[in-house]
Amino acid sequence: MAEPLLFLEELPDEVTATIETRERALAALGSASGGLEFVVQRLQRWLPGSTVRVAFLGGDAELHADIAQLAGTIGEHGNLVLDFGFDANTGNYRTWSEDDDEYGAEIRVSFDQGGFFSLVGTDSIAEDIGPPSGKVGGRPGQRSLNLGGFHIQRPASWKGTVLHEFLHALSFHHEHANFRGPCQLAFRWEDDSDYVPTTDSRGVFVPDPAGRRPGIYTYLAGAPNFWSRAKVDHNLKEVRGPGIEASEFDRASVMLYRFPTLFYRTANSDCAPSGDGQSLSDGDQSGLRSLYPSETDASEDIAEGKRSLLGELTSRDAASGAELESMGTSRAGRSRALAPSVDCLKRQLAGRY
Ligand SMILES: [Zn+2]
């Protein structure tokens, strides 16, 4: 029997494009603002001590209750409350709609898109994420977290999927992208030498008649993902940079995928998950404690840092007319292209998260 199709988690391409624009804006700010990099780094995390609201689009009360109960336990491990808006009178949980023009919730769950995905942390309320008329993005009427098909049938591993997506929503990145981990060296990126491209009837790349195997790039270029090389790199290569903190690599994390064996150079790879990924690992729990510490000092530091950055952006705006004049054309053009992201960032910095 053929192996089940591997559908990798993915955001719509047009959403990824807006995230990349914001990353460029943040990178430009980070290099310009020196000591304030601290703040930029923490921008995707909710302010510790916050209550973050969750709402559903579609699905019934039983599904909502199961998700709320499971994801609600995440808050036990860090100083952050996920509030699902349960109404004891009606037995219903909070809902949102595509017509909302104010946030009914910071995390807006849907079941009607293909696959599973979530925006990372406060990207869920960043109004420059996703195209304005798109179904997915950071605006009030857009989906920020999707559990595709859960309203029809939940997969056997639904608990792991819910925890994984909610940890993204709380600003966790993938464990295979942890630059302190082994995955970049443990992955089989390239085909075996002399591999003859061979697909099965579904269009999935499989070993050729001589048993030589496709590598990750080739495998993901086939059905059902059809990923470009750039997309593979974006999703599977390690994440580094001023915005990224990493704790020790954790093989038991719900943020570590189980890939097909052909993804790994060796059997029993260090990069393969050690558990079944259906509950938070000790490392996931300590990650939550460090991202959302209970000491009020940490919250105040972050809030103070946000105020400083907002102040700097505002004063820079006043000077920016002159600055643009004095820049070369390409830098000025680049700066203008990033301006909407910076404006959105300012609104976010002024907000309560
Ligand atoms: Zn993920």
Cα 132 to averaged position of ligand 1 atoms, centre (Å): 24
Cα 331 to averaged position of ligand 1 atoms, centre (Å): 34
Query: Is residue 113 within 8 Å of residue 7, measured between CB atoms?
Result: no
What pTM, to 2 d.p., does this model score? 0.88
Nearest partner of 287 among 106, 83, 121, 145, judged by Cα: 121
Q: Which amino acid is at 109?
A: V
Q: How many C-beta neighbours within 10 Å does residue 242 have?
A: 14
Alpha-carbon distance of 322 to 320, in angstroms, equals 5
Cα 9 to averaged position of ligand 1 atoms, centre (Å): 6
Per-residue pLDDT of the chain (353 residues; tens, 9 = 90+): 567 777 888 888 899 898 888 878 777 776 655 555 555 556 788 988 999 999 999 999 999 999 999 999 999 999 999 999 999 999 999 999 999 999 999 999 999 999 899 999 999 999 999 999 999 999 999 999 999 999 999 999 999 999 999 999 999 989 998 888 999 999 999 999 999 999 999 999 999 999 999 999 999 999 999 999 998 998 898 877 655 667 889 999 999 988 999 999 999 999 999 988 899 999 999 999 988 988 777 777 777 877 887 887 777 766 655 555 555 555 566 566 667 777 887 888 888 78
The pLDDT of residue 112 is: 97
Cα 166 to averaged position of ligand 1 atoms, centre (Å): 9
Cα 338 to averaged position of ligand 1 atoms, centre (Å): 27
The pLDDT of residue 9 is: 85
Indicate the helix (H) or strand (E) that contains 325: helix 296-326
Cα 204 to averaged position of ligand 1 atoms, centre (Å): 22
Query: Is residue 42 within 8 Å of residue 11, measured between CB atoms?
Result: no
147 strand-pairing partners: 116
Strands (E), the chain: 51-57, 81-83, 107-110, 116-118, 145-147
The pLDDT of residue 256 is: 93
**Cβ neighbours of residue 154 under 8 Å, at least 6 residues apart?**
63
